[in-house]
């Protein structure tokens, strides 16, 4: 049952000798069997990481642009327009530039709840930062950027303007007849909110997936597809 050296043919001897030379060669290392090790569970592919970082870059760029526009306009209004007559833009008093200080929300509501609106603005910022960790959708990046920039703009007023920290009054200056007096931060928040509603209605998620397709796949019964295939 066991083969001796005599039973080994010339071809087998050559193979054994070659194997012995390889094994006995100093510094010889066996080539790895797999040059592409498997990705650990939960690890993010490199392409997805790059895409997410680009979307976060878009979010931060939009937020920074909205914030700087709001901050610059408020500084200009406080320096040039406050305690002065309003500037009429369209149709007499239909659209005016009129500097006001608003301790509450839109339409002057909640004037005694300034600290509550400060907490809400800070909470919005935290939620957006959490969503950014799984952000792969460009439209969502723009929408969240508008919300983030607007929230930061009004939060800056709440923290740094009189009468005190977390109780500061927001500077509003765009006055529309029979409507609220607002600022560019409010405009960014409204535009971002409208875009979020549209994206949600279309079923698009921040991670780029489509909710409608996922819902159909989850609610589809296993027998239905089999029955269709049989038909």
Catalytic residue among 186, 207, 226, 228: 186
Is 15 a member of any domain? Answer: no
Is 19 a member of any domain? Answer: no
pLDDT-based confidence at residue 36 (cuts at 50, 70, 90) = very low
Predicted local confidence at residue 57, as pLDDT: 96
Catalytic residue among 172, 207, 228, 229: 172
Is 9 a member of any domain? Answer: no
Better-predicted residue by pLDDT, 157 or 110: 157
Q: Compute the average pLDDT of residues 195-206.
A: 94
Is 44 a member of any domain? Answer: no
Q: Compute the average pLDDT of residues 207-213.
A: 75
Question: Which structural domain range is residue 77 located in?
Answer: 51-219
pLDDT-based confidence at residue 9 (cuts at 50, 70, 90) = low
Active site residue 186: yes
**Domain tally, the chain:** 1
Q: Is the pLDDT of residue 25 over 90?
A: no
Task: Map the chain to HEC letters.
Answer: CCCCCCCCCHHHHHHHHHHHHHHHCCCCCCCCCCCCCCCCCCCCCHHHHHHHHHHHHHHHHHHHHHHHHHHHHHHHHHHHCCCCCCEEEECCCCEEEEEEEECCCHHHCCCCCHHHHHHHHHHHHHHHHHHHHHCCCHHHHHHHHHHHHHHHHHHHHHHHCCCCCCCCCEEEEEEECCCCEECHHHHHHHHHHHHHHHHHHCCECCCCCEHHHHHHHHHCCHHHHHHHHHC
Is 79 a member of any domain? Answer: yes
Is 105 a member of any domain? Answer: yes
Is 165 a member of any domain? Answer: yes
Mean pLDDT estimate for the chain: 79
Is 204 a member of any domain? Answer: yes
């Amino acid at each position: 049952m066991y083969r001796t050296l005599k039973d080994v043919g010339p071809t087998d001897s050559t193979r054994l000798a070659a194997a012995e030379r390889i094994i006995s060669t100093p510094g010889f290392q066996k080539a790895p069997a797999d040059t592409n090790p498997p990705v650990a569970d939960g690890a993010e592919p490199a392409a997805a990481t790059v895409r997410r970082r680009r979307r976060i870059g878009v979010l931060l760029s939009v937020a920074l642009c909205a914030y700087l526009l709001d901050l610059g306009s408020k500084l200009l209004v406080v320096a040039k327009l406050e305690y002065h007559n309003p500037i009429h833009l369209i149709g007499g008093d239909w659209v005016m530039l009129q500097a006001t200080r608003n301790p509450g929300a839109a339409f002057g509501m909640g004037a005694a709840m300034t600290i509550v609106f400060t907490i809400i603005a800070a909470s919005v910022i935290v939620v957006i930062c959490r969503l950014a960790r799984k952000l792969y959708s460009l439209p969502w990046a723009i929408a969240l950027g508008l919300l983030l920039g607007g929230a930061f703009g009004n939060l800056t007023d709440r923290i740094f303007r009189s009468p005190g920290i977390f109780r500061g009054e927001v500077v509003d200056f765009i006055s529309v007849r029979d409507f609220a007096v607002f600022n560019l931060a409010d405009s960014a928040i409204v535009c971002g909110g409208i875009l979020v509603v549209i994206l949600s209605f279309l079923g698009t998620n921040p991670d780029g997936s489509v909710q409608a397709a996922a819902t159909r796949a989850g609610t589809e019964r296993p027998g239905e597809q089999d029955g269709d295939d049989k038909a």
